[in-house]
Amino acid sequence: MVTRANRIHGAYGMTNESSVEKITIGLADMQIRMLAPRDKEDSGSRISFWWGITSAAVVLARHIESHCEDFYGRRVIELGCGLGLTGIAAGLAGANVLFTDYVSQALEFAERNALLNGLEQGAFDTGILDWENPGPLQEFDVALGSEIVYDYFFHGSLIRLVRQILKPHGTILLADRKRLCVSRFIGRMISAGFNCEETTHKLVLGGFPDQEISIFALTMS
Ligand SMILES: C[S@@+](CC[C@H](N)C(=O)[O-])C[C@H]1O[C@@H](n2cnc3c(N)ncnc32)[C@H](O)[C@@H]1O
């Protein structure tokens, strides 16, 4: 995995502020400020949607805020972090966070967003991580993933990766809409030996239809 220490920054041209929009995400007690690219498109052949903030990420960030004691002092990895919302919520709860994605521009935004919200340099890191070819990794107490199981092609590699990176009794929190790819993934995780607890949450955002988002807490048994 390539981490911030040995990665070249600036591919996105973050000095050009007109290419960036500001979004505020309201949690129960605090607000998280996010920068996002105005140009919302994927480069290359892979469809990644790194440039958006999903409803699942908003719901998972709110969940983290309301369970902040579960994150204080923990080692947390965010998989497919995109702009980094849920990792930032974990960092604000006192976790040490590694933001990961296979899109380097996403990591530039995640880093800048983490700093914007007051996370200190030593309390987080960013690293390129491709689920298909993760390389050696440390172990984590908690992994976070919002809207990351949409492509069946990656299910096998994600399951192998989660088994590799979680400490014994570690947990991955997955948030997503109710859809077939999600229930298939959860079924495979349970077959692979994970215990699963699901909670459902209604997300009401002005101007959008209400959405039902599930959070799956999957723990290695
Ligand atoms: C739908 S976006 C979700 C972004 C963010 N988690 C959120 O909910 O706002 C999916 C993210 O997973 C990342 N991703 C997809 N396939 C990946 C892979 N094979 N390895 C690493 N990251 C991947 C994408 O680059 C993107 O940032």
Residue segments in the chain with a per-residue pLDDT below the cut of 50: 5-13, 15
Total number of residues shown for the chain:
221
* The pLDDT of residue 40: 75
Pocket test for ligand 1, best of 23, 97, 102 (most atoms within 8 A of CB): 102
Evaluate whether 114 touches 88 at the Cβ level (below 8 Å): yes
Between β-strands 96-101 and 124-128, what pairing exists: parallel, antiparallel or unpaired? parallel
Apex CA 211: angle with CA 45 and CA 156, to 5°? 40
Q: List pLDDT tens digits, range 75-110.
A: 999 999 999 999 999 999 999 999 999 999 999 999
What residues are in contact with ligand 1 under a 6 Å CB criterion?
Answer: 48-50, 52-54, 56-57, 80-82, 85, 101-103, 106, 129-132, 146-148, 154
- Give the number of other CB atoms < 10 A from CB of residue 155: 17
Nearest protein CA to atom 3 of ligand 1, as residue: 147
* The pLDDT of residue 10: 38
User: To 10 degrees, what angle do helices 85-92 and 104-116 make?
Assistant: 30
Q: What is the sign of the dihedral through the CA atoms of 148, 135, 99 and 48?
A: negative
Q: Tell me if residue 18 falls in helix, strand or coil.
A: helix
Ligand 1 atom at minimum distance from 103 CA = 25
Encoded amino acid at 110, one letter? A
* The pLDDT of residue 88: 98
Q: What residues are paired with 24 via a beta bridge?
A: 33
Ligand 1 atom at minimum distance from 132 CA = 19
Distance 127 CA to ligand 1 centre (A): 13
Q: Where are the extended beta strands (E) located within the chain?
A: 2-3, 20-26, 31-37, 75-78, 96-101, 124-128, 140-146, 166-177, 194-203, 211-220
Evaluate whether 82 touches 113 at the Cβ level (below 8 Å): no
Distance 102 CA to ligand 1 centre (A): 8
Q: What are phi and psi of 189, to 5 degrees?
A: -65, -40
Q: How far apart are the first and last CA of the chain?
A: 27
Give the full edge-to-edge strand order of the sheet including 194-203.
Answer: 2-3, 124-128, 96-101, 75-78, 140-146, 166-177, 211-220, 194-203
Distance 121 CA to ligand 1 centre (A): 23
Between β-strands 211-220 and 166-177, what pairing exists: parallel, antiparallel or unpaired? antiparallel
pTM (whole model) above 0.85? yes
Distance 221 CA to ligand 1 centre (A): 26
Nearest protein CA to atom 23 of ligand 1, as residue: 80
Structure tokens at 7: 């990665």
Ligand 1 atom at minimum distance from 57 CA = 8
* The pLDDT of residue 19: 86
- Chain centroid to CA 29: 21
Task: Please report the domains of the chain, with CATH numbers, ordered by start residue.
Answer: 2-220 (3.40.50.150)
Distance 47 CA to ligand 1 centre (A): 9
